[in-house]
Amino acid sequence: MSTLQDDRFTFQRAEDTASEHIAAPRYSYWKSVFRKFFSSKLAIAMLILAGTIILLSIFQPMISGYSPRITPNINRPEMKYIRPNSTYWFGTDDKGNSLFDAVWAGTRSSLIVAFAATAISTIVGVAVGMWWGFSKKVDVIMIEVYNVIANIPTLLIAMILVYAIGSGMGSLIFALSVTSWIGTAYFIRVQVMIIRDREYNLASRCLGTPTWKIITHNVLPYLISVIMTIISRDVPGFISYEVFLSMVGVGLNRDIPSLGQMIRDYSPYLISTPYLFWIPVAVSAVISVSLYIVGQTLADASDPRTHMV
Amino acid sequence: MSVNETMNEKEELLSVEHLEVTFNNSRKHRFRAVKDANFKIYKGETFALVGESGSGKTTIARAIIRLNDTSAGDIIFKGKKINGKLSAEDKKWVQRNIQMIFQDPAASLNERATIDYCVSEGLYNFNLFKDEADREAKVDQALNEVGLLPEHKSRYPHEFSGGQRQRVGIARAMIMEPEFIIADEPISALDVSIRAQVLNLMNKFKEERGLTYMFIAHDLSVVRYFADRIAVIHNGRIVEVAPSDVLFKYPLHPYTHSLLQAVPMPDPQIEKAKELVIYDESKRDLSGPKPLLQEIRPGHFVFMNDRERDEYEKVLEHLEQQ
């Protein structure tokens, strides 16, 4: 053991700011969101699956030009009910059309309806919910409106509206989003009421920050994961609404290919040619589940509490 | 008499007169959080408001800064009434001149905004800068004054320690160049080791800028050396107001006694032998006329009626002889 000698020590300048430095790497919200999202293998698999289905449903109908009205093989019995093989991957239907073409065209209709209805109900719902949560006067009125509308089943309203204004893509989107925004708005209202009177919002008010700026800078960023949860719940919900309404015959009209119509049309073939029924059902289930899992993982990842390493 | 004379010379900055704050849960259920509060704060002093949790001290602070509505009484700031309905211009004037430092540094900063935005929020709202470079210079200076570094601007509040966050809160208030600052228990959520740091910082600003503080605390030991005058509040009512040395020397109201008793003693033998006084209003003799906040010695106010006044006079004479 050597003894410690004075000459082994050197004087160092004292630095007041030394203790103030932050050694941790810089934090970036969106980078952390994506890091967290891509750390889940299931989410990546589901993202690839959902991405593939979405791309197929965008581009495959463009190539095939499928329409339920065009039936070139209707008088050729040898073209009907061909089981899935290497030429017709999903087989052919009762009119001799390729089911592969029909399924992706139908998926496209479902996705357009679901994404459009989700976008409308989320944008309207979040905007109204913010206003509702901040204003006591609006709350008194809106809570009554909510009580009335929330107690009428959405499906019933959608069915009656489609009956009234006629079937079609636009009217179905309108019928689905006309009341569903109020559920989103109510959800946002509760969240706003929880966050509204937190100390940092009081501090902003003391600093003279106007309410709209408190909403955009203080409240909305806190609700990203909540809004993501709403979206990931709404998209599969609207897909199944579309499928169900088309199945019972009040959704899209016969000119528009639809998974719901296929499921209805082919349910009598459940025993003889089951693939005609099960393939549209499976595609509708897979797209709903994969989008839901992607959305939920993204919602979790966008909550900064999960960003701790 | 000297206390009274210096008080009169001082300029009155804020005066609270017969203030009452009521919370209405429903039409039948009302809760009076603050009852008939009267006090004055003079320019350049540190006025402490001390009381237990739920006594209404934060409510008074929030009523002054217009976060809570008042149900009766006046709050006069620089000769202008600032409670109740105000024009947008007057509201802005209040926001410019009165700022607040919050209790919990973890809750009072926006977690989704950078320090740069947190500190310059007030500048944006009042357009207090010429151009972007001027704003950055102001933020840098404000951070520098509270001992933080310019590199912290791009960081988020959760990356800071409690003391650093509280200093961000102070920088955010100071950048507005207010005259009057309400500090709502600014050190009670902090580690004991950094409490002095924050208090020294507040004192530094007071000396440099001639600020006036209203300091809210729940125990007397914190404010003993920091405050010039202390008001003791209990159950929404101010029970005693006095310069801090007077309050510690001649405490009169029984609630003040029990607050003083609650301060822990470093000597274990004294601490053990200490007789705890628990203030229980229901066991007090409340006979006689309705009590009011009255001046018993110049600058020393006690909530009492005439019968109690005679008792306190005797106690005071006895204490002064010692």
pLDDT band at B4 (very low <50, low <70, confident <90, very high): very low
CATH code for B3-321? 3.40.50.300
Helix (H) or strand (E) holding B302: strand B300-304
Residue B206 confidence (pLDDT) above 50 = yes
Q: What is the 3-state secondary structure (H, E, C) of A277-293?
A: HHHHHHHHHHHHHHHHH
Please give the pLDDT value at position B8. Answer: 55
Nearest C-alpha neighbor of B312 from the set B322, B301, B263: B301
Task: Map out the domains of chain B as residue ranges.
Answer: 3-321
**Alpha-carbon B3 to chain mean position:** 21
Q: What amino acid is encoded at A99 in this protein?
A: L
Say what the pLDDT of residue B138 is.
93
- CA B300 – CA B293 distance, rounded (Å): 10
Residue A91 has pLDDT above 70, yes or no: yes
CA B301 to chain CA centroid, nearest Å: 18
Q: What is the pLDDT of residue B291?
A: 86
- Binning chain A into helix, strand and coil, the percentages to the nearest 5 are 70, 0, 30
| Nearest by CB: B154 against A16, A26, A206 | A26
Q: What kind of architecture, by CATH, is found in domain A88-307?
A: Orthogonal Bundle (1.10)
**Domain ranges across chain A:** 88-307
Tokens of B172: 């955010």
pLDDT category at A187 given cuts 50, 70, 90 is very high
| Strands of the B72-77 sheet, one edge to the other | B30-42, B12-24, B72-77, B80-81
Mean pLDDT of chain B: 88
Residues of B with CB under 8 A from a CB of A: 62, 65, 67, 91-92, 95-96, 99-100, 102-104, 107-113, 117, 121-122, 125-126, 147-149, 151-152, 154-156, 158-160, 164, 169, 172, 176
Q: B244-296: per-residue pLDDT in tens?
A: 999 998 999 989 988 888 888 888 888 888 777 778 777 777 777 888 888 88
Checking if the pLDDT of B154 tops 60, the result is: yes
Residue B74 pLDDT more than 50?
yes
Label residue A69 exposed, middle or buried (CB < 10 Å: 0-12, 13-18, 19+): exposed
Are A203 and B172 in contact (CB < 8 Å)?
A: yes
Helices (H), B146-191: 162-174
Encode pLDDT of A190-219 as tens digits. 999 999 989 999 999 999 999 999 999 999
**Residue B5 confidence (pLDDT) above 50:** no
Mean pLDDT of A16-42: 86
Q: Please, what is the average pLDDT of chain A?
A: 89
A134-150: burial string, b at 16+ Cβ within 10 Å, e else: beeeebeebeeebeebe
Q: A203 and B117 in contact by Cβ < 8 A?
A: no
pTM of the model: 0.83
**With contacts defined as CB-CB under 8 Å, which chain B residues touch A217?**
110, 113, 117
Residue A111: band (very low, low, confident or very high) from pLDDT cuts 50, 70, 90: very high
**pLDDT tens column, A238-276:** 998 888 888 888 888 888 888 888 888 888 888 888 888
The stretch B57-81 carries a mean pLDDT of 92
Pairing of strands B229-234, B237-243: antiparallel
Please list every residue in chain A whose beta carbon sits closer than 8 Å to the beta carbon of residue B154. 26
Q: Which residues contact B248 (CB under 8 A, 6 or more apart)?
A: B220, B224, B260
Report CA dihedral (A136, A142, A147, A149) to the nearest 10 degrees: -170
